[in-house]
Amino acid sequence: MRIYSRILGTGSYLPENRLTNADLAAELAQQGVETSDEWIVERTGIRARHFASDAQGSSDLATEAARKALTAAGISADDLDLIIVATSTPDMVFPSVATMVQHNLGTAGCPAFDVQAVCSGFIYALTIADSMIQSGSAKRALVIGAEIFSRILDFKDRTTCVLFGDGAGAVVLEASEQPGILATDLHADGKYKDILCVPGHVNRGGILGDPVLKMDGQAVFKLAVGVLEDTARASLAKANMSDADIDWLIPHQANIRIMQSTAKKLKMSADKVVVTVDQHGNTSAASIPLALDTAVRDGRIQRGQTLMLEGVGGGFTWGSVLLRY
Ligand code: ACO
């Protein structure tokens, strides 16, 4: 009998401070940086994003999302035997955000660790949790994507600072004989490390190199559209399914044009794509679980439906998870 990883519950959290494009443009104008709602909407589809307060760390956002996912799942933190957090913006160099979340949730003992695969991080984390559940080493896993990208943006660089936001999303997985995760597919190619990176690092008590996000937007765009189609097809092939079997496409929320191109390549109509980039911006590893939770809670996603989750991000990394909800 095959053991599946089934989603028991989802949750998400967005910081209170919400900035529309007009709000952000007004703030940037004070620093002599020119942008507009029209430009941002036309090129990216983004209309607003949330920024964390100075007092919040990614672990705080992750904990809020986790609490909601646990409530939706109807289990307590003590029932968990695995916690994985996908993040590229941890509170500290170490320990991991996952151990902080574990402590915030008032539990201890189960393994807890972070995964760093930038915007593909949640897909990587979900795949690892699924492998551990299938192998029998975990029965109930909490998988979170949490980011505070506003801390690593250069607000003098209008080509990047308008694109990102902060937030967290979480799922609780449980080992089940009922179908859950049907197939997964992960990839990376380090030769693209320079087209999307934060080159700075902590060194002997200071920061060496530039600690803000650098991106070659057009190179990222071209690469993203190609790999998102490839990885979706790879997961479908592993499950002996076709694009017609997908009820909802939940891609990484980076840019509406990338998402539309991907849907077109998969012959899916736009109304089958869950879009939250307009309200959240690009929240990196948090974007897929945030979009998933949004569509679960507003009733679009129903039990028994087939979901294609897919991500692409710095590294370059990319991958997909095909699942029965
Ligand atoms: N406001 C106003 N004007 C701007 C802004 C801005 N915020 N940013 C750039 N411009 C200007 C540029 O200076 C340029 O002006 P010029 O023609 O006078 O030189 C003009 O707009 C066009 O700039 P491009 O960079 O060519 O614009 P493009 O159409 O490529 O759009 C974008 C840029 C949105 C970044 C696009 O390349 C893109 O979507 N790339 C994908 C990258 C992405 O989504 N990254 C997210 C992170 S990666 C990930 O999550 C996988």
What is the average pLDDT score of the chain? 98
Q: Which atom of ligand 1 is nearest to the CA of 44?
A: 34
Res 265: pLDDT: 94
90-129 pLDDT per residue, tens: 999 999 999 999 999 999 999 999 999 999 999 999 999 9
Q: Give the pLDDT confidence of 191-212 residue by residue, as tens digits.
A: 999 999 999 999 999 999 999 9
272 and 153 within one domain: no
The partner residues of 112 in beta bridges, in order of sequence, read: 83
282 is catalytic: yes
- Catalytic, 103? Answer no
In degrees and rounded to multiples of 5, residue 184 shows phi and psi of -135, 160
Alpha carbon of residue 122 to chain centroid: 5
Q: What is the model's pLDDT at position 246?
A: 98
Task: Indicate the SS3 state at residue 94.
Answer: coil
Q: Is the CB of 313 under 6 A from ligand 1?
A: yes
Which pTM was predicted?
0.97
Nearest to 274 by CA among 145, 104, 293, 106: 293
Query: Based on the domain organization, do 160 and 263 belong to the same domain?
Result: no
Phi and psi at residue 59, in whole multiples of 5°?
A: -65, -30
Same structural domain, 214 and 159: no
Range of the domain at 23: 4-176
Whether residue 178 has its Cβ less than 6 Å from ligand 1: no
Among 176, 211, 236, the domain boundary falls at: 176
Query: In terms of domains, do 43 and 112 share one?
Result: yes
Of 122, 142, 176, the residue that ends a domain is 176
Give the model's pLDDT for residue 303: 98
How many other CB atoms are there within 10 angstroms of residue 304's CB atom?
9
Q: Ligand 1, residue 162: give the atom nearest the CA.
A: 7
Domain edge (last residue) among 150, 176, 202: 176
Q: Are both 129 and 235 inside the same structural domain?
A: no
Asked if residue 193 and residue 160 are part of one domain, the reply reads no
Q: What is the CATH number of the domain that holds 87?
A: 3.40.47.10
Question: Which whole number is the average pLDDT over 131-158?
Answer: 98
Q: What is the mean pLDDT of residues 233-248?
A: 97
Is there a single domain that holds both residue 138 and residue 11? yes
282 & 295 share domain: yes
Same-domain check for residues 194 and 145: no
pLDDT at residue 222, as a whole number: 93
Please report, to the nearest 10 degrees, the dihedral formed by the alpha carbons of residues 9, 143, 306, 245 taken in order: 180
Q: Are residues 167 and 273 in the same domain?
A: no
Residue 1: pLDDT band (50, 70, 90) is confident
Residue among 21, 50, 119, 280 flagged as catalytic: 119
CA–CA distance, 42 with 314 (Å, rounded to integer): 24
Do residues 123 and 146 share a domain? yes
Looking at ligand 1, which atom is closest to the CA of residue 158?
7
Do residues 314 and 119 make contact, with C-beta atoms less than 8 angstroms apart? yes
Residues 260 and 207 in one domain: yes
Q: How many domains does the chain have?
A: 2
Q: Decide whether any atom of ligand 1 lies within 6 Å of the 260 Cβ.
A: no
Cβ-proximal residues to 285 (8 Å cutoff; 6+ apart), any chain: 86, 87, 88, 117, 118, 119, 120, 121, 122, 125, 145, 146, 147, 311, 313
The answer to whether 17 is a known catalytic residue is no
